[in-house]
């Protein structure tokens, strides 16, 4: 049974490409590790939960609008 759909051909292209990688696998691992560092570790240390710390629970939208509009 031959599948000729666009989605199947695109998936087959990527699966076949990843099967024959040599240095590419190592590079993908490095890329994934860097993304994990960027999105998880840096968020913990450099992007604190400012709204959660300063706004009352349930009134976060009012806190943000007051800061934006400078009431």
The tokens 């629970």 sit on which residue?
57
Averaged over 3-17, what is the pLDDT? 83
Residue 1 pLDDT greater than 50, yes or no: no
Nearest to 49 by CA among 62, 58, 38, 60: 60
Q: Report the chain's mean pLDDT, rounded to a whole number.
A: 82
Predicted confidence at residue 11, as pLDDT, reads 86
DSSP state of 70: T
User: What pTM value is reported for the model?
Assistant: 0.47
Number of independent structural domains in the chain: 1
| Domain contains 15 | yes
| Domain contains 27 | yes
Q: What is the pLDDT of residues 33-51, one digit of tens each?
A: 999 988 888 888 888 778 8
The tokens 């240095």 sit on which residue?
23
Supply the range of the domain harboring residue 55: 6-69
Print burial letters for 33-55: b (CB count within 10 Å at least 16), e (below 16).
eeeeeeeeeeeeeeeeeeeeeeb
């Amino acid at each position: 049974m031959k599948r000729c759909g666009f989605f199947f051909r695109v998936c087959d292209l990527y699966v076949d490409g990843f099967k024959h990688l040599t240095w590419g696998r190592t590079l993908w691992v490095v890329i994934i590790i860097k993304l994990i560092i960027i999105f998880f570790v840096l968020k913990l240390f450099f992007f604190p939960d400012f709204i959660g710390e300063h706004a009352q629970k349930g009134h976060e939208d009012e806190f943000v609008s007051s800061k934006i509009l400078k009431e």
